[in-house]
Amino acid sequence: MSETSHPTGLVATKGIELLTFGTPNGFKVSILLEELKAAYPDFSYTVQSIDIFQDVNKQAWFTALSPNGKIPIIVDHDRDGFAVFEGLAILSYLTRVHDPECKFHFEDLLEASEAEQWIAWQHGGLGSIQAQANLFYRFHPERYAFPTQRYVGEVERLYGVLDKRLDGREYVAGPGTGRYSIADIALFPFIDAAAVTGIEIERWPNLYAWWERVGERPAVQKGMSVPSGEYFRFGYKKVKKMWKDDPEGVEERERPLREALEDARRDFGSVG
């Protein structure tokens, strides 16, 4: 892999080129790429870091590949530079084209549909809702009570949906107790980022056990470190370690956010 700070165009001439940044949407693709690299010795990919805070994703060369100007994108240089944008589409493309043994997807049409349903659930529901929860809970410079409690509560409801799905299962999709697949890959980065929204995933035992199980995979750990080379700074284990190492400092930072959410719930209730 290679990383460029301020890319101005594509750099690879063969294989997969990933244009991404250190966010859950980016991580789900880099995790799959790392899984493919581990599973198939001839598979490799190139990565470029697209700094969304410097609007690299709004440059003309980037929007020519992704009209919506969002990461991630992959370009398959071995197939005439075919570009794929949107995470759901990228996961589907990579497994159809580069996973001939269906190690991360399913040959059975019904099982494949089941996995795709949960990826769509993440893509159209959990991902967008959690992004809004992160914004209003932590990052917006002003405190807005109603959207804060609305989005945080909805994330909690969705976590409950996933926890129920995982009751008696090891993985999200597949027969029996399930099999590790792109459904798990799509969901893991968002659950791993729960602490951004002030959520403790231990509240949902099935979800927590699944998060631990998936997070132990070497390719997941590597994928969560792309493109920076360091694991996601808001990863759940990292945040927990910060609490352990500096409880007073973290509590000083977190208390106003937590209290603002509590006040919002007193005023408007909660959908969680």
* Same domain, residue pair 175 and 78: no
In-domain check, residue 118: yes
What is the DSSP secondary structure assignment for residue 199, as one 8-state letter?
A: -
How far, in Å, CA of 57 to CA of 21, rounded?
10
Only one residue has tokens 């509240």, namely 203
Distances (CA, A) of 251 to 143, 245, 262: 19, 11, 15
Kindly tell me if the per-residue pLDDT of 234 is higher than 90: yes
C-beta separation of 25 from 127 below 8 A: yes
38-45 contacts, C-beta under 8 A, 24 or more apart: 38/218, 38/219, 39/99, 39/101, 39/103, 39/104, 40/98, 40/99, 43/15, 43/98, 44/15, 44/16, 45/1, 45/15, 45/16, 45/17, 45/18
**Cα 158 from Cα 170, distance rounded (Å):** 18
Domain membership of residue 52 as a residue range: 16-98
Residue 11 lies in a domain: no
- Mean pLDDT of the region 45-51: 97
Q: Is residue 103 part of a domain?
A: no
Which of 98, 119, 143 is a domain's end point?
98
pTM, entire model: 0.95
Instruction: State residue 61's pLDDT score.
Output: 97
CATH code of residue 169: 1.20.1050.10
Evaluate if residue 3 carries a pLDDT over 80: no
Token pair belonging to 83: 């570009």
Query: Percent of the chain beyond pLDDT 70?
Result: 97
Q: What is the mean pLDDT of residues 91-120?
A: 98
92 shares its domain with 116: no
Q: What is the mean pLDDT of the chain?
A: 95
Are residues 239 and 218 part of one domain? Answer: yes
The answer to whether position 234 is within a domain reads yes
Q: Is the pLDDT of residue 4 over 90?
A: no
- Phi and psi dihedrals of 225, rounded to 5? -110, 10
The mean per-residue pLDDT over the stretch 8-25 comes to 97
Q: Are residues 123 and 248 in the same domain?
A: yes
CATH number, domain of 52, equals 3.40.30.10
Domain end residue (candidates: 32, 66, 98):
98
Q: Which residues of the chain form beta strands (DSSP E)?
A: 16-20, 45-49, 73-76, 82-85
Residue 269 pLDDT grade (very low, low, confident, very high; cuts 50, 70, 90): confident
Tally the domains of the chain: 2
The residue length of the chain stands at: 272
